[in-house]
Amino acid sequence: MNLVYLAQNIIEAKIIKDLLDASNIENKIMNEHAIGAMGELPFIQTYPEIWLAKEEDLLRARKLIDSFVKGSNYPDTNCSKCGESMPSNFELCWNCGES
């Protein structure tokens, strides 16, 4: 098992899990229920952790999570050519290829 990400909260952890599931990366959320134990454990241990079942998925998972974390910091924008909505950090429109 390989720790790949420390989420800020369980909602973020679930989004990351879905993201990895969608790419067929076997993963598991640890500390999911640790929130109820707050006060008994050091604070850092109560963050949900994403663990991977297979080490060979680590790089792929990191890239996916990385682009998710970065992408979520940008508001959506619309393509100047076709009007398709996309994250503003995309360099090319995924629909028509306009930069």
Q: Write each residue from 47 to 86 as x if it is in contact with Zn ion (CB under 5 A), else as -, in one continuous string.
A: --------------------------------x-xx-x--
φ, ψ of residue 50 in degrees (nearest 5): -105, 120
> How many chain residues bind Zn ion (CB under 5 A)?
8
- Which helix (H) or strand (E) element contains residue 3? strand 2-6
The answer to the question of residue 95 lying near Zn ion (CB under 5 A) is yes
Give the number of other CB atoms < 10 A from CB of residue 25: 20
The contact set with Zn ion (CB under 5 A) reads 79, 81-82, 84, 93, 95-96, 98
